[in-house]
Structure 1
């Protein structure tokens, strides 16, 4: 087995300043590292996001020439205590959503989009679902 540990989730973004503002203002992330205008590392609890702008080394084309672009379906999940309150607050700030809230056996979820179209799932676990309850301050936990 390779000796490794969890590192971070990298999101490709078109404007690092805008992405940092989005995650810090709406979800309470804090800036961990900001070595230059093309990259920022931000964190909340045990989750670290690497925000790579178009001029960062993490955004260079792949070996086959494919450009790394924002968006897609892979996503981070932020657990919230009150999904309705969280969605209402984000809507007042102009945050866009990919879908309406859906309910499954584990709880309710909806997908918001950051300013570059990267999905952010907001998840409120159902009582008795086996998922731990969201903790911390604010509606995003």
Structure 2
């Protein structure tokens, strides 16, 4: 784990200062918590890396040995994902929600690249927009929800 944290810090994804205990209520001037990266366990690192590159356009920014990849979304340094090849990946699945421009196109790419569609459908007005989403599993069983926001029709 120490090498993952050091690698993330080297990429500018983590602050260089050490973690210290915080009081029960952080002062108002404190930097708010934020997600640095998401961790997913996969059975086949090459397959996982190819899946996220083809579906979301992610790129690998660092390889840590044979079984770990740090990937980022297009045009971004952070947050990204860490893929870790593990023999117990089926018991260590993750999940996240990602906003996309075209829900149907994304689901087509998911199915074409080994993902399993759950065919869930969600649609709700959210302020002046309509949110539509669906869930799928990547080839290693990690659940992802893709969300498309569109202007609400008047």
Give SS of 2:151's match: coil
Counterpart check, 1:76 vs 2:96 = yes
Which residue pairs with 1:110 in the alignment?
A: 134
* Of 50, 53, 60, the match for 1:24: 53
Q: CA deviation at 1:92?
A: 3.7
Q: CA deviation at 1:101?
A: 2.5
Where do 5+ consecutive residues of structure 1 fail to align?
A: 60-66, 129-141
Q: If you compute each CA radius of gyration, which structure gives the higher value, 1 or 2?
A: 2
**Runs of 4+ residues deviating >4 angstroms:** 2-5
Where do 5+ consecutive residues of structure 2 fail to align?
A: 1-21, 24-30
Q: What is the number of residues matched between the two proteins?
A: 116
Distance in 2 (alpha carbons) for counterparts of 1:103 and 1:81: 15
Distance in 2 (alpha carbons) for counterparts of 1:111 and 1:70: 18
Distance in 2 (alpha carbons) for counterparts of 1:101 and 1:50: 28
1:27-42 alignment runs, 5 A limit: 27-42=56-71
| Bigger helix fraction | 2
Q: CA deviation at 1:5?
A: 5.7
Q: CA deviation at 1:28?
A: 0.4
Q: How well do the aligned residues superpose, as a CA RMSD in angstroms?
A: 2.6
- What is the TM-score with the length of structure 2 in the denominator? 0.63
- What is the TM-score with the length of structure 1 in the denominator? 0.68
* Of 52, 60, 66, the match for 2:84: 52
Q: CA deviation at 1:31?
A: 0.2
